[in-house]
Amino acid sequence: MVASLVGPLREAQLGGAQAFQTDLARALMARGHEVIVFCATGSSLDGLRLETVPAPAGVERALVMPAGRPPPPLPGLRPAFAELFARVCARGCDVISLHAFDAEALEEAAERGLPVLHTLHLPPLVPALVEAALAVAGRPRVRFVAVSEAMRRAWSAAGLSEVETIRNGVPVFEPPELPVLPRAVIAGRVSPEKGTAIAMRVARRAGLEPLVVGGVYDREYWRDEVRVPVRSVPRPELWRLMAGSAVTLMPVEWEEPFGLVAAESQMAGCPVAGYRRGGLPEAVVEGIGGFLVEPGDEEALVAAVERARGLDRASVRRAARERLGIGPVAAAYERALSVLGGGR
């Protein structure tokens, strides 16, 4: 498995794509596969075999998309991925599950003729990546997977027609029995497209304490609009916070690829209220896992919070276990990878 080099993989993840890759690696290991995760120096994950390469200087700039524009190119990514794939070849891997969202990663893998399953974790926002994806599409040892039907449609509109959908999933866990506090969880990266500041406003209008957990991607946005302490927490602690919170808020300001936070929240029995954008309606079934409203309608979102608080939390959790577990997702990846790996 090949991760992005924009940040290390850790138990307290910066974002959903990193968390999902970690969950998938562990689920494939549980199915009997030998998994090596190639990732940035500084990564540390319990129970996983890691091979790390140094990330280029300034790579953190790739985390921020000012005014929705793609980040500037990073010249150091090319040699970093060249080193990474040289190590992949030296290991003699049967097949590669590629989660790095960088044109350089697609191109380096293609130049070596490697069997690669590319997971499209984001919309087609970066022209260089779209161009690279179109260039390698159709090769016999290359396949693409989108994390939601919404992302498959977006990439199809960009010209990438042969894309399979394998929706994301999360570990099935048993949340602790806790008193539900008048608190709203706002989890994930702190950046404008995630609507962190909107979520804080809506929480307060609904009479809830906003709790922001995750990583600060856009420090200027945090300084100007958020201005509260933000901390990254290991996944089990995040799930505990969700289990003891009234609702998770997701007023996303972009086409959300899937909404891993929404899946984790429902698995903890915590309903979700958010905007109906991107893949979020695929993660949140209305009236079962929460309620979604039209983007930009804060009044409706405040009302949705109240409706979500009325849902039976045991039913929220039960539906999540049926729909959103990582087990069937890992089985689908196993089938797709097996085709590329010659049936192994």
Per-residue pLDDT, averaged over 26-38, amounts to: 97
Contact indicator for 336, 166 with CB cutoff of 8 Å:
yes
Using CB atoms within 10 Å of the CB of residue 34, give its burial: 0 to 12 exposed, 13 to 18 middle, 19+ buried: exposed
pLDDT of 173-199, one tens digit each? 999 999 999 999 999 989 999 999 999
The larger pLDDT score, comparing residue 342 to residue 333, is at 333
Q: Which domains does the chain have, with CATH numbers?
A: 16-169+326-340 (3.40.50.2000), 181-323 (3.40.50.2000)
- Decide: helix, strand or coil at residue 191: coil
SS3 of 110, please? helix
Radius of gyration in angstroms for the set of CA atoms belonging to the chain, rounded to a whole number: 19
Query: Which of these, 47, 42, 48, 38, lies nearest to 2 by C-alpha position?
Result: 38
Secondary structure letter of residue 63 according to DSSP: G
Q: How confident is the model at residue 154 (pLDDT cuts 50, 70, 90)?
A: very high
**Residue ranges in 147-259 assigned as alpha helix (H):** 149-157, 196-205, 219-221, 235-243
Residue with the two structure tokens 């990254």: 232
Please determine, for residue 63, whether its predicted confidence score (pLDDT) is greater than 60: no
Closest to 316 in 3D by CA, of 238, 248, 229: 248
Arithmetic mean of pLDDT over the chain: 92
Per-residue pLDDT at 67: 47
pLDDT interval class at 215 (50, 70, 90): confident
pTM for the full predicted model: 0.92
Tokens (6 digits) for 193: 């497209």
What is the distance between the alpha carbons of residues 314 and 68, in angstroms, rounded to a whole number? 38
- Return d(Cα 28, Cα 33) in angstroms, integer: 6
Query: Under the phi-then-psi rule, with left for phi > 0, alpha for psi from -120 to 50, and beta for the rest, what region is 21?
Result: alpha
- Residue 326 sits at the vertex; the CA angle it makes with 324 and 329, to the nearest 5 degrees, is 95
Stretch 253-269: mean pLDDT: 96
Give the residue from 332, 161, 169 showing the smallest Cα distance to 266.
169
pLDDT at position 68 over 60: no
Q: What is the dihedral of CA 236, 238, 240, 244, to 10 degrees?
A: -170
User: What's the rounded Cα separation, in Å, for the pair 307 and 281?
Assistant: 17
Question: pLDDT band for position 343 (50/70/90)?
Answer: low
Nearest to 251 by CA among 344, 185, 152: 185
Cα(122)–Cα(124) distance, integer angstroms: 7
